[in-house]
């Protein structure tokens, strides 16, 4: 599970994230919803130990991300899929990830079929992939260590409706098997069908945090 407590991030005089708190529980998909620039990526980067908070704290599975013994095995993270590994092939990326995590390479083949990347495409340079293919590759990478927690930042960007539908099924299965999912988007329609809870952020602050049914009824 993910616990975020009063996270704040300032860049110079600009406050990107202000006093943000929320929780993501096992067996649930939490949709993290807000317009571009609202502070979603900054929050997720702080949870994943990639950006130090100005104030507050975040834990995953009970400890700060960087204190997990093998974070890559326990937490699958997909941030900024568009910026990945242009020079390598998708297959190389997955093999390297498997090696780093100490996962058998046979797992790479399972993941390729799970995310529906065919072997011919997987041998091409990632720089030649569409954004949707990069999202699939990023999701495969996030899942390769068989994690208990998934954190995905705008994974639907670049996916077509069929891809979004496919990803929704994958995330639903992951949560139904006890996994914890934090899924950000700037579009309600990308998260409303799959999320159990919605945490809404605007201008760096949480403006709503409720069960989806409650929230959608109230609006």
Query: Which residues contact ligand ADP by CB under 6 A?
Result: 11, 14, 16, 34, 36-42, 161-162, 164-165, 189-190, 193
Q: Closer to ligand ADP by CB, 42 or 84: give it.
A: 42
CB of 129 within 8 A of CB of 154? no
**C-alpha angle 208/211/215, rounded to 5°?**
55
Buried-exposed string 122-146: b where 16+ CB fall within 10 A, e elsewhere: beeebeebeebbbbbbbbbbbbbbe
Tokens 């709503």 identify what position? 208
Question: Which residues fall within 8 angstroms of residue 16, CB to CB, at 6 or more apart?
Answer: 9, 10, 39, 42, 204
Tokens 């975040």 identify what position? 58
Nearest to 184 by CA among 157, 215, 160, 153: 153
CB of 19 to ligand ADP, least distance (A): 14
CB of 97 to ligand ADP, least distance (A): 24
Partners of 8 in beta bridges: 55
Question: Which residues fall within 8 angstroms of residue 45, CB to CB, at 6 or more apart?
Answer: 51, 79
CB of 139 to ligand ADP, least distance (A): 16
CB of 183 to ligand ADP, least distance (A): 11
Q: Closer to ligand ADP by CB, 11 or 86: give it.
A: 11
Q: Closer to ligand ADP by CB, 96 or 202: give it.
A: 202
Q: Closer to ligand ADP by CB, 61 or 174: give it.
A: 174
Q: Closer to ligand ADP by CB, 39 or 147: give it.
A: 39
Nearest to 16 by CA among 44, 30, 1, 5: 44
CB of 68 to ligand ADP, least distance (A): 23
Q: Closer to ligand ADP by CB, 14 or 62: give it.
A: 14
Phi and psi at residue 35, in whole multiples of 5°?
Answer: -65, 165
CB of 166 to ligand ADP, least distance (A): 8
């Amino acid at each position: 599970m993910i616990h975020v407590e009063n996270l704040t991030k300032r860049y110079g005089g600009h406050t990107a994230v202000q006093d943000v708190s929320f929780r993501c529980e096992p067996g649930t998909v939490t949709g993290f919803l807000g317009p571009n620039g609202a502070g979603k990526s900054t929050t997720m980067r702080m949870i994943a130990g990639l950006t130090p908070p100005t104030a507050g704290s975040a834990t995953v599975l009970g400890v700060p991300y960087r204190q997990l013994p093998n974070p890559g095995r326990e937490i699958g993270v997909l941030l900024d899929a568009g910026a990945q590994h242009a020079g390598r092939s998708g297959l190389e990326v997955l093999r390297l990830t498997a090696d780093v995590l100490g996962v058998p390479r046979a797992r790479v083949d399972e993941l390729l079929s799970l995310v529906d990347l065919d072997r011919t495409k997987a041998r091409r340079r990632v720089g030649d992939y569409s954004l949707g293919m990069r999202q699939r590759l990023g999701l495969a990478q996030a899942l390769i260590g068989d994690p208990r927690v998934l954190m995905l930042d705008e994974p639907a960007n670049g996916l077509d409706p069929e891809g979004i539908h496919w990803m929704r099924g994958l995330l639903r299965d992951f949560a139904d098997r006890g996994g914890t999912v934090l899924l950000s988007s700037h579009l309600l329609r990308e998260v409303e069908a799959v999320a159990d809870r919605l945490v809404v952020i605007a201008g760096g602050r949480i403006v709503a945090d409720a069960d989806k049914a409650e929230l959608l009824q109230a609006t």
